[in-house]
Each structure stands twice: as C-alpha cells, then as structure tokens.
Chains A and B, each alone.
Chain A
Amino acid sequence: MRKTYRYRNLSFAITDEEEAKFTVEFISDGNEGQTVINIPGDKDPEIDDEGTVSLGKGKDLRSDTTISFSDMSNALPEEDEIRIRYKINNRTIKEHVNKKSVEDKPIIILFIKFPKS
C-alpha cells in the first residue's frame, strides 16, 4: 500500500496584496510527479514535475486551508531517496524526504494557512 505523508499546520504569513508563488523543487535525482494545489475558488493550479505557480493574492487565500497534493514517483535505480522541497515566495515551507526502500511513489500532502502578516 502506498504511503501518504501529511504535513499539517503549515503557515505562511502574507499581506493582502502580496502574491503567493508556490514552488515544487526536486532535490534528489530522477523524481517525477504531479502536484495540484487546492486554493479557494475554481481554478486550482497544477505543477508538472517541478516548477512555480501563482496561488493568487494573500487576501484571497484566507478563507480556507490551501492543500497541496503531490503524487510522486522515482524510478531511477541508482537513487535511494526522494527529497522534495516546497517553497512559497522562495522560502522553504517543507522539505520532504523519504527512503525509496520505504516508498518509491509517495503521496505528499501539505495543509497551509495564509495568516495576515
């Protein structure tokens, strides 16, 4: 059974007009995966493998918990860990790491609040 890693109670203080940019950065070699970020409203951004997307302005992110859901995998035979860094506006909010011997296709979920700074 696939292992799910949930990281709750993450928080990123932001002003009303500041734009939140969410980044998935692969640190270990050979990672692949899809990330969907559930933000208030209908248009949930997606990240194919790694990259940065806009989540919108701070004031639009306060009504609900923002959830980042990543379905990841690593098929590279020489790599023994999966290490992925999640950032908002270039600041790391979580660095996920797990041994591939434990799970080589982890599900990684972040629960993020955006309080007023």
Chain B
Amino acid sequence: MKTFFLISFAVFTSMILNAQDNLKDITAPTSPASSVLGIESSTVLTPKSYQALETALYSNFLNEDGSVIIPNDFALEFTPYWTKNHGLSLEEYLYPKSLVDQLIRSSSFSLASTQNFLLGDSTKTNGIAFGYRATFFIGNKNDRKTITKYRDKLAANQLALARIGAEAELLVLKDHINNKSDFIKGIENTITSAIKSYVKDISQDDAEKYTKEIFEDVNQLPELNKDNPDSFLDSLYRIVDSNIDTTDVFEKFKSYINKRQGFSLDVAYGILFNFPTNNFEFSYGPRQSFWLTPTYRFKDEWSKLKAMAVLRYEWYNTDYYKRYFPDATVYENNFSYGIAIAGEFKKFTLQFEYVGRSSNSETPTGAFVNGKETYTKDTYSDIQYSGTFSYRLSDQLVISYSLGKQFEPIMNPENTLISLLSLNYGFGSPTKENLKK
C-alpha cells in the first residue's frame, strides 16, 4: 500500500478528489429520472398544476409540425398531491393518520431526457428516463414536544400582535387621536396587557421589560400621519414582533420541519430508455435503479447527529452494454449498501461511513442433455470506509482530514488507503456537504 498526502486548495463547490462511489452518490436522489439518465439539468421544471404539466410536456416534446421529439437537457418533477388546495391543517400535515396519507402526499414523479446520451463509441443518442419517489416519516415523542413548543409560542405571539393590531387600527381612526403621543397613551394598556397575557415562557419581569422596550422603540418612530397611518402602524407591528421574537421562532420552526427528529424512509425508482439509432420505434431499457434510504435524526442534545443507511439495487441490460459499450465491464445485478453517521458540533464536523458494493451476472453457456440450461456466474464485491473530521477555521476556511480504505482502483488495485488532508476556501460558509469528496 502506498500512502499519499495531499493538501488541496479548492473552491468549495466542486471538490472531487476521490471519485469513487461514496454514500452520497448511492443515496436516493431528488430526481431518480435525472440520476439514472446521468444528467444534471441546469433547471428542473416543477409544474404546480395539471395544466402547467400539460403545457410543459406539449411545449417540450412536440415540435412545430406536431411530431414527437426528445428534448435536450430536460428535467421535470411533478408531485400530484400539491397541485390543488385541500385545506389541510398543519396538524394533519405534521401527523398524518396513515402511511397511505404519507404515500399520497409525498409521491413525486420525475422525467428527464437528453439528446446527448453517449454510447461507448461516443455516438450521441436520445435518452429518456422516468422516476418515482416517496418519503415516509415516523416521529417520536420528542418530535411532537418540539413541534408543540414552537406552535404554542408562535400562536401566543400571533395572538398578542392580533390583539394590539385590532386595537391600533381602530384607534388611528378616532377623532381624538391626533398625534403619536395621543396614540401611545391610547394603546399603552392594550400592549401591556397583550404582552403579559399572551407571550409564553417569559416572567412577569421580562414582560415588563419587553413592554418598556416596545414603548421606547415606538417613541423613536416618526410622527403619526393621520391621513396615512399605515407605515406608522406597520412599524409598530415590526417593533412588537421583534421584541417577542416572532420571526425568529417562525424561522426556527420552518427549519425544524425540514429536519425533524425521528425516522424517515425514502423510496425511489428510476428507469432509463435509450434510442441507440435515434429512431423512436427502436429502444432499449438498459438500466433500472431502486433506492431505499432509512434515516434517523437523533433527539435533544444529540440532535446534531444523523444516522443513515442506504441500499441501492441496479439492474443493467448486459446485452445492451455488450453491444453499445463493448469496452465496459457491466454486471447484471448490482447492490450498493452503506451506513453513515454524521454530526455537527459547533465548529467541528465528524462523519463516518461504510460503503459496500456487490455485483453479479449470469451468462448462459449451453444446456444439459435433459434440456436444462447452464450458466456461468461472474461476481465482484468490494468495500470502502472512511472517517472525516472537519474544523471550520473561519466562515470561509475549513480544514478537513479523511482516513480510511477506498474501493480498489482499476489502475493500481493495491492503492486503497485514504489519507487526505484538505483545506477548503470559499466565498461563503462551507458545510459538511461541501466537503464531500
């Protein structure tokens, strides 16, 4: 084995130092269709209605004389459930009654196509792929507790502002309110009472402090214009919101919804069709992929941790690959599997991952005298594992070190040690995702 040591400087968006499959590569993709087709479209159409879907398909797949074409660099993702309003409450959304509800709500269909699907001899052909994806989530007590805390706090803040606003909007219409001083006198009791009565998780002392700060800020506002009081009132609402942290609570709540504690399962499938002669009536289905990704996000003090397992099965049409990619070694059945645990702790990021792959093909070799067919079975398997430690030196500078074993390289199969030190510099705040190799 040879050890290699590398210090790299790279813009953090595209650092590919170790191009073997890692866990991210085999995780269920957002668009299974694009994944099996092997394209990354610059734009993905996401029609929000059946009419928009129809328009997207007609305008891209039909040319001027009405004949069907395969559009180039085309990607579309469509989630039927969200094309119309259901009056679904947030409660129903967060806690669906059944897995069927989750299946219906999360089912999304993807479509991708290209005119540049390259065969083994670099011939450009048309390729089109279809995909499906669904996500299931099972929360836990801590998830419910966290969500309840956010929703209660948000509802209390909203009620406090609604109380103040309903009074303020009427007050400025009154004849006896002529200036800011009159207004403050008129709204004082309402603000004090709303903050004390409704804002949650604060002491009486804090309520008085918040109220005092609100009045200090309101006093700094420009004079109330009775003929056009809207900007004055909007400023009042902004001051109240800012003092009771409504925006902050809402942003944290939104962020939490995207990363809930608990178990989730992503299921995805993609199938590729290729037209090797660019004749629409002659096609192959050379590849199909199926992904299963269970993920668990930990709770409370471990909430920065995420554990993930991945299983991907890919089927390749070996006849197709022998004919159009004669130099490639392709197996019919391909399993990839991996587990990872990742965590972010202030400036540190740690990730451990293990990825394995196993492939096999059965080739008919003839038949016994009794007519039963005989086969030879080719198999291949390999593993890769690594640990990565990253430390954020500044907002734009991250240093990371990876140690482990990679898949056997084709050119030098004994060189499997991963020992990689990298310094990552970017015009933004790098994340652990940017550090993946």
Contact = CB atoms under 8 A, between A and B. Distances in A.
A69 B169 contact: yes
A43 interface: no
Contacts of B246: 105
A68 interface: yes
B161 interface: yes
Interface stretch (B33-41, B87-95, B402-410): B87-95
Nearest to B169: A67
A46 B165 CA distance: 13
B167 A38 contact: yes
Contacts of A33: 158
Given A26-B89, A30-B89, A35-B162, A75 B254 contact: yes
Contacts of A75: 90, 250, 253-254, 257
Contacts of B162: 34-36, 46, 69-71
Nearest to A72: B158
B87 to A, nearest CB: 6
Interface stretch (A11-19, A53-61, A77-85): A77-85
Interface stretch (B78-86, B336-344, B418-426): B78-86
Contacts of B257: 75-77
Interface residues of A, number: 43
Contacts of A109: 165, 169
Secondary structure of the B contact surface, majority rule: helix
A31 interface: yes
Contact of B165 (A25, A48, A107): A107
B170 A67 contact: yes
B93 A80 contact: no
Interface string A29-45: 11111111110000010
Nearest to B168: A69
Interface of A: 1-2, 4, 6, 25-38, 44, 46, 48-49, 64-65, 67-73, 75-80, 83, 104-105, 107, 109, 111
5 nearest A-B pairs in the assembled complex, by CB-CB distance: A71-B158, A29-B88, A38-B166, A69-B166, A69-B165
20 contacts: A2-B238, A4-B233, A25-B87, A28-B87, A29-B82, A29-B85, A34-B158, A36-B166, A38-B166, A46-B162, A48-B155, A65-B173, A75-B90, A75-B257, A76-B90, A76-B93, A77-B258, A78-B105, A104-B254, A107-B165
